A and B are shown apart, each in its own frame.
Chain A
Amino acid sequence: MTGRKMARIFTYGFMILLTFICLIPFLIMMVNATQTSADLAGKMTLFPGKNTVTNYKNLMELIPFWRYVVNSVMVTIPNVLISAYFGTMAAYGFEKFTFRGKNILFAISMLMMVIPGQISLIGLHQVYKAIGLLNTRWTLILPGIANVLTVYWMRGNIYQIIDSSILEAATIDGCGQVQIFHRIVLPLCKTGIMTISIMNFVHVWNDYINPVTYITTNSKQTLSVGIALLKSFDRPDLGATYMAVALSTIVILIFYLVFSSQIMGGVTEGSVKG
């Protein structure tokens, strides 16, 4: 069975090659985050150096790195929470109630998902300016209320999980509609909410075009825009820039390791629905 053996060698070789391609930039990043800027500018650096602490200190003087992280957290968490709450609420309304105009409203909502947000960038900028929200966190938090993907996702989830007979029983027992939503729907949909929230988290955390457009004060910036500012300096500090990239990657890596099952589950479920 040499043909089979050859196929196995090719398969593993291909997988290992791709693994190498995926990881090599991160390895370079980790090694170079420990080098002095002078070495980085003039030598071939292959092994870890001894300049980690200095690079870190220089980075902290160049940009308020941890403040950017805090800014990102302060924007991402509220956005994800309101998206989960109001998105599930709307999904519940669409899935379990009959009312006039329901289907057309749902269809229009879905259509909004297809129109890329960038196209309305100027219009939303003007709206924020008019209501005085420009250069505040709210510009990045509030659109979470209109997360169409969450509604689409949670509608499917509610359809699968929540049997209408439970809701009818609760109504007979005298539960109000709001109570039913809070006491029955939200707890039963916990897993689905968790998955879509993790997906939303990654999306909002990595967002670049919205913060760069609506936030004008550097100290209020999120991490993704803040890190790009390092490139705008006349004489970039190479060691510190590698350090910034490494820290930014490590933050998301920790998140990935903690939530990998939800993230992978989210991608695969998305493909089934798609």
Chain B
Amino acid sequence: MIKMRKGRINAGYLFILPFILGLVVFRLIPFIYTATLSFTSNNMITGESGFVGFANYQRLLKDDNFYLSLWNTVKLWAMNIVPRLAVALLCAVIFVQSDIKGRGFFKMVFYFPNLVNAATVAVLASLIMGWQTGYLNRILLSLGWIEEPIYWLGFANSAQTIVAVLLWWMWFGYSAVMFATGILNVPTEYLEAATVDGASSWQKFWRITFPLIRPTVAYVFLTTLIGGLQNFEIPRVITDGLGSPSKSLLTMTMQMYILAFRSMQYGYGSAYAMGIFVITAIFAGMSYGFINRKGE
């Protein structure tokens, strides 16, 4: 550590100053301002404004769209997280086996969908899964497997499945690379000792490797949970922006966006944002507690 002479401003403050100022202007003030707006009736269309106390929050708790969007968001997350973690763990175990050829190639390929932006993925998916002119329907029709084109994105269940599959497709490779590194950090002596003692691969994985990579799994789980609760791009681009069919793809962030920037209800939209914040905090806290308890 550098000791500064007395009477001079510590240079440490100067070095962190731009960042701290930026943090205040671009993160802290907007957050506090959103929280403040949530207690007002600000509406850009009606021109209303003014303090309304907890009225927006009372409305939020009675808002069917709030519960629906929460349910949709959690459902879309839950539908992709289990296959994502399962496939990623399997890939990671395969990656760290020393005799697998083309490891670097597989890693690069599996990770690539994560780099393409979600809007591009959603546009491509809607071309492939489209109705009359969708690629999949064209193939199925030509093969004679279906008589009429299927409106994949027109039904709640299939639309939600498509979005969940896309999220899985974009993220399993990322998780796999993370897990593979976690497993590589497991000391090989443990595994060798277990092999000598006659442990099977299955036993070695669940008794030694998995407990030791639990922090990585927990980190991936927690970040995907926080990320999953902010789900926005794919459902927005793949639908009409309103979460069709029958609001099955309406996520929390989408509804907040619609309230604030389509209906121009800044006050209520802000209360909605605070609702998302509280839910994110609860879920993050719950899973954090769960992970820590299980880790002991």
Interface residues of A (CB under 8 A from B): 11-12, 14-15, 18-19, 21-23, 25, 28-29, 32, 40-45, 86-87, 89-90, 92-94, 96-99, 102, 105, 109, 112, 114-127, 142-143, 145-146, 148, 151, 164, 167-168, 171, 177, 181, 202, 205-206, 208-209, 213, 223-225, 227-228, 230-231, 238, 241-242, 244-245, 248-249, 252-253, 255-256, 260, 263-264, 267-268, 270-272, 274
Q: Which residues of A contact B21 (CB under 8 A)?
A: 145
Measured in the bound complex, the distance between the Cα atoms of B181 and A102 in whole Å is 32
With most chain A CB atoms within 10 A of its CB, the pick from B3, B123, B128, B280 is B123
Q: Which residues of B contact A125 (CB under 8 A)?
A: 260-261
A248/B26 contact (C-beta < 8 A), A92-B15, A118-B230, A268-B181 known:
no
Q: Which of A40, A116, A256 contacts B133 (CB 8 A)?
A: A40
Q: Would you call B261 and A213 a contact (CB within 8 A)?
A: yes
Q: Would you call A227 and B219 a contact (CB within 8 A)?
A: no
Measured in the bound complex, the distance between the Cα atoms of B105 and A77 in whole Å is 28
Measured in the bound complex, the distance between the Cα atoms of B34 and A252 in whole Å is 34
A90/B280 contact (C-beta < 8 A), A116-B226, A120-B27, A256-B115 known:
no
B91 adjacent to chain A (CB < 8 Å): yes
Measured in the bound complex, the distance between the Cα atoms of B29 and A125 in whole Å is 11
Q: Would you call A224 and B117 a contact (CB within 8 A)?
A: yes
Q: Which of A231, A263, A268 contacts B178 (CB 8 A)?
A: A268
Q: Which residues of B contact A242 (CB under 8 A)?
A: 124, 127
Q: Would you call A121 and B260 a contact (CB within 8 A)?
A: yes
B182 adjacent to chain A (CB < 8 Å): yes
Q: Would you call A206 and B117 a contact (CB within 8 A)?
A: yes
Among residues 149 to 182 in chain B, which have CB atoms less than 8 Å away from a CB atom of chain A?
169, 173-174, 177-182
Measured in the bound complex, the distance between the Cα atoms of B182 and A274 in whole Å is 10
Chain A binding surface SS class: helix
Q: Would you call A143 and B107 a contact (CB within 8 A)?
A: no
B108 adjacent to chain A (CB < 8 Å): yes
A114/B284 contact (C-beta < 8 A), A32-B127, A90-B20, A143-B26 known:
yes
Per-residue A-contact encoding for B250-268, CB less than 8 Å = 1, 0 else: 0001001100110000100
Q: Would you call B94 and A11 a contact (CB within 8 A)?
A: yes
Q: Which of B33, B37, B115 contacts A263 (CB 8 A)?
A: B115
17 A-B Cβ contacts within 8 A?
A15-B94, A22-B113, A25-B125, A25-B169, A90-B16, A93-B11, A97-B1, A98-B10, A118-B230, A118-B273, A119-B31, A123-B29, A125-B261, A142-B26, A230-B123, A245-B123, A274-B220
A240 to chain B minimum Cβ distance, whole angstroms, is 11
Q: Which residues of B contact A96 (CB under 8 A)?
A: 1-2, 12
Measured in the bound complex, the distance between the Cα atoms of B20 and A68 in whole Å is 32
Q: Would you call B123 and A227 a contact (CB within 8 A)?
A: yes
Q: Would you call B261 and A205 a contact (CB within 8 A)?
A: no
Across chains A and B, which 9 residue pairs bring their CB atoms closest together, nearest first? Answer: A97-B12, A93-B15, A145-B22, A123-B30, A90-B19, A146-B22, A123-B33, A123-B34, A44-B142
Measured in the bound complex, the distance between the Cα atoms of B219 and A148 in whole Å is 17
Measured in the bound complex, the distance between the Cα atoms of B112 and A122 in whole Å is 32
CB closest residue in chain B, given A244: B123
Q: Would you call A122 and B270 a contact (CB within 8 A)?
A: yes
A124/B94 contact (C-beta < 8 A), A96-B2, A105-B20, A225-B119 known:
no
Q: Which residues of B contact A42 (CB under 8 A)?
A: 133, 138
B111 adjacent to chain A (CB < 8 Å): yes
CB closest residue in chain B, given A93: B15
CB closest residue in chain B, given A242: B127
A273 to chain B minimum Cβ distance, whole angstroms, is 9
Q: Would you call A14 and B232 a contact (CB within 8 A)?
A: no
With most chain A CB atoms within 10 A of its CB, the pick from B215, B230, B274 is B230
Q: Would you call A121 and B257 a contact (CB within 8 A)?
A: yes
A112/B23 contact (C-beta < 8 A), A98-B12, A208-B232 known:
yes
Known: A15-B100, A97-B11. 20 other contacts (CB 8 A): A14-B90, A18-B91, A40-B135, A86-B19, A90-B20, A92-B15, A93-B15, A96-B1, A116-B229, A116-B280, A121-B256, A122-B269, A123-B31, A124-B30, A206-B115, A224-B119, A230-B123, A231-B126, A238-B133, A274-B215
Q: Which residues of A contact B133 (CB under 8 A)?
A: 40-42, 238
A187 to chain B minimum Cβ distance, whole angstroms, is 17
B13 adjacent to chain A (CB < 8 Å): yes
A106 to chain B minimum Cβ distance, whole angstroms, is 9
Q: Would you call B27 and A272 a contact (CB within 8 A)?
A: no
Q: Would you call B94 and A102 a contact (CB within 8 A)?
A: no
Measured in the bound complex, the distance between the Cα atoms of B256 and A270 in whole Å is 31
Q: Which residues of A contact B91 (CB under 8 A)?
A: 15, 18
CB closest residue in chain A, given B29: A127
A267/B177 contact (C-beta < 8 A), A96-B2, A119-B31 known:
yes
Q: Would you call B25 and A208 a contact (CB within 8 A)?
A: no
B139 adjacent to chain A (CB < 8 Å): yes
CB closest residue in chain A, given B11: A177
Q: Would you call B32 and A123 a contact (CB within 8 A)?
A: yes
Q: Which of B22, B107, B232 contacts A118 (CB 8 A)?
A: B232
Measured in the bound complex, the distance between the Cα atoms of B180 and A231 in whole Å is 38
